[in-house]
Structure 1
Amino acid sequence: MTSVIFGVSIFFQILTSFFPVYVIGLMVGTCMIHSYVEAGERKEKKIQDYIASVMAEDYEAIYYFDIESGEYLEFARSKEYEPLNFAKSGKNFYYDLLKNAEKKVYPEDKDYATSFFTKEAMKSNIEGKRSFSFKFRVVVKEMPRYYLFTYMWAGDGQHIILYEKDIEYELQAEKERTENQVKTVTFSQIAESLASNYDAIYYVNVENSNFVGYEVNNIYGQLEVGEAGADFYNDCYENIPKLICEQDQESLKEFINKDSLLSTLNTHKSTSINYRIVTNGKSQYTRMTARKSSDGTHFIIGVENIDEEIQKEKQHLKELKTEKELARRDELTGVKNKNAYKELEGSIQGNMDNGMDYLPYGLIVCDANNLKKINDTMGHAAGDEYIKACAKLLCNIFVHSPVFRVGGDEFTVFLRGDDYYNKEELIDKLRSQVLEDQKTGSGPVLASGVGIYQPGKDLVVNDVFERADKEMYENKQMLKGLK
């Protein structure tokens, strides 16, 4: 347009050389250029103002102040910021800011906040930087809220722009996000930890019996999708005869029953069963544990190999039994000790007290002669050998009855079974051997007495023991008289 005006002006200037048409055209064109430039600048400024106004909406307040004089102006203020009553302009920004901080900053944050609002602090914090930010709590409507404060150079090296933004909601959202993330990670770790206890986990739909199987591929519980199917129960019933020990098949079928699981898990958090899987002709103990998902829509069924656990338990019971046996054994002779006799006596007495007809039994009470003399003349080692010989003699004769060492030189035999029915023959054998040993001086000499349980007459085991003990002393006196 301007070039057209210049062209027309030159044409008329040639025709009318006496009139300054070109000069007038040049002035008009220049004015038009200037007008277009101003229009462009106004448009650019409008866009910049629009951008600035949109950005300002994100802040509670924006201040523009002279870093040296402290003179300031406020360019934005949100509705939420109005209750703080900060001045909209002033001559000393630092003074007004500190004064207002004393009233509005949360008490616990006051010293921290005011340390940033001196001229020296601002200069130091922003030196060599584009901006500097910090946050603290401001009391708004009697409630503490976190605010983010950012100051930056305005671009002229003399003024600073201070932005104030309420970030309470942002911090709360971030806190909730972090907490949820921690919960998610925690639950994930717990799930993995629990999963590591199993070799396989089945996720079974309660309503339609669809299932997905997961295999636990390492000790940390990481799961890999394995098999999937339309009917968990039917698949189990088909596999049980192929994989499960015959003695455990029926009990496992009863356990893997939808109605049974629903009934049990309505009143219990979990239910489990131990059974044996046969692989390569060898059985291995396995445990299946069933739980309901938190929403009740699925069964979570874990399968774990517990063969090592069961074997350890069996070994422990065996060791415990051995320990108990040792606790009932006489260390010197290897026969049962007084504790074992008391346990037996208590068991028999319990049956008698309850009116049960206890099996026919008898007690033989024995006492080793000459033990003190042997200890005094030949030493305790010889005495120990003599006691061991006494125990051996009793065990060799009463092979079907337990022998107890109930004192230093005292023994009791609990007659039962064949030994009971052959008691006269066996007692004669014992006494004949004792007489032979006493005659030759080459074997143990044991005084003995027998008491036979008499139902209806004997109310306590000790009644039987006392009869045997009385007879033993009579036999002892008889042996002494034969010397």
Structure 2
Amino acid sequence: MIYAMVPGSALVINLIINWELFKKYGFSIKGNDEKKWVHVRYNYFVLAACGYFLVDMTWGILYEHKEVQAFFPFIYFLTVLYFLFMLLTMLTWTRYIVAYLDRKGLRNDILLYGVWSMFTIGLVFLSLNPFHHLMFFYNEAHEYVGEKGKNITFFLQIAFYTVVSIYMLYVAHKSTGRQKIRYKTVAVTSVVLGISLTLQILFALHPSYALGLIFGICLVHSFVQSSEKKEKEIHDHIASTMAKDYEAIFYIDIESGEYLTFAKSEKYMSINATALEKDFFKEAYDSIDECVFPDDKEYAKAFYNKETMLRNLEGKRSFSFKYRVMVNEKPRFFLFTVMHDTSSKHLIFYEKDIDDELNAEKINKENQKKTITFGQIAESLASNYDAIYYIDIANSSYVNYIVSNIFGELEIAKSGDDFFKESIENIPKIIHHQDRDAVCDFLNKDNLISLLENQKDASIDYRIIVKGKPRFTRMVVRKTSDSTHFIVGVEDVDAEVKKQMQQLRALKTEKELARRDELTGVKNKTAYKELEESAQGNIDHGMDYLNFGLVVCDTNNLKQINDTLGHAAGDEYIRASARLLCDIFVHSPVFRVGGDEFVVFLRGNDYTQRHELMNQLRSQVLENKKIGAGVILAAGMSEYKPESDCFVSDVFERADKEMYEDKQRLKA
């Protein structure tokens, strides 16, 4: 009775853990769904195991009472069934493995031929056993006695399970992820079955194979079946969640045209499309006249031919097209996408309302005409600067983004704990000795905080030493909108300086002379218009970080000088006015835009120090007026205000107005 408890318990456990598989997949399937065939094959194995457990349990109960003569025929018959179901478990297990691997090839063919050969040999031995006692016999005391044939079949099965285990371990070695674990589990199960058969040879009257069989089934249940079930639930959950994004999804049999419909939204139901689920291509084509916007009907009909749809998919994972569908009597753009499933026997066709997305995209494009996105600003900054530092104002930690290497062989850390401390340490190594003090003063945290309290940025030009030669560099510092970080841009302007030098050498060319005022040598109105257009282009593209200002000037008393002293004196007066502006606004271009009118385009250091420079100009003018010698210039200044200015002319008009007011004061 103790013997029978082991297979009996195994039978109960087997039915409990696999009953759901029996109900869900059964023992047959319509069509050629290979994935479901795997579960059906496994059910055959589990069923064979149930048969073995039942026979082994019954044999154990009756063998306890072998002295009862009436039981002997049943005991003998159960022994035959015992070996038969043992062979069946090996056969069904191997067929499950082949289906599970889902591979066609010589190795799988060898497995199938091998298992069928051993199954046949076992049947032959069992058939001949009543006549020659190849497998077993019972002595006069009705005691079970194993023969050589039994050991031969057992050894063959053990060898076969060993081959299967090695093969599955090889497959597992070539695999990755969860599948690797599952293949290893199948391999270990085969090892367990082989070991249990070995123990069955050594201890014939112990239920070793039953123990090994239920242990292997539990392994497969825990690491293969349950794992696949959980993975399928996750996949189904993902699919159902993603399906909510579509109005309808169709699963179409390519050969017959029959289909299933999933994820029908309320919007799709309002279309009133025909859905008999008999022939997708015909029904979709027939529905076009009822559902599609009139202008798009002919275009839509071109897609719902099976051959055309398959041709469009050749060499592609998916194919999409869009047209307008009437929803509640209003046209809305729908995107239609078709793709093969993994078996290539079905098509997955899904449709999505993209009208809102298209409208949003249209609005976004219109907005881009007025402003650029943050990403474009970042790209623009990255293209303008050779290195960018993002510095935490609170603790001075930073991240360094190198755009191009202008530092020669010096290694700059990508991140650090104290930007200002490391900068002070690096300045003697890379900065020209004449510029070191200025850079040290500039890169003082308190200094930067103070500079940026009332202005958007601060900058400094200096020279670095690269391979023993100086290169001009510009550093620009701004604060983030939340005032928590500094953004420091380092720009190599050496090429710009060389370009300016080349431009100076080319002043004699006709093109440059056309932009140069012959009388004063400063730039003329044509050059100013070009610069104005360039600045306007920056404004139109949202580059509001490029600060600039305009100084509008007008000479006083020019007419009086021309009338009293002659035009030669008037010309000299204009030249003196230009020299005064060039001497004060050293880093900014000066333009003569009229007979006695000048414009200075403030940028760089001149923009930063604009108020001091304007005070210097006005002080000089007042001094000239007081002593009655020198140039008298009325001047007005205005800065570009990105929050309100749309045109350069807005800046000019404010400066011109201030100049006019200054002119009145000078005449008073």
TM-score class, shorter: 0.3 to 0.5
Greater RCO, 1 or 2 (C-alpha within 8 Å, sep 6+): 1
* TM-score, normalisation: structure 2: 0.32
TM-score by length of 1: 0.41
> Which has more helix, going by share of residues?
2
Structure with bigger strand share is 1
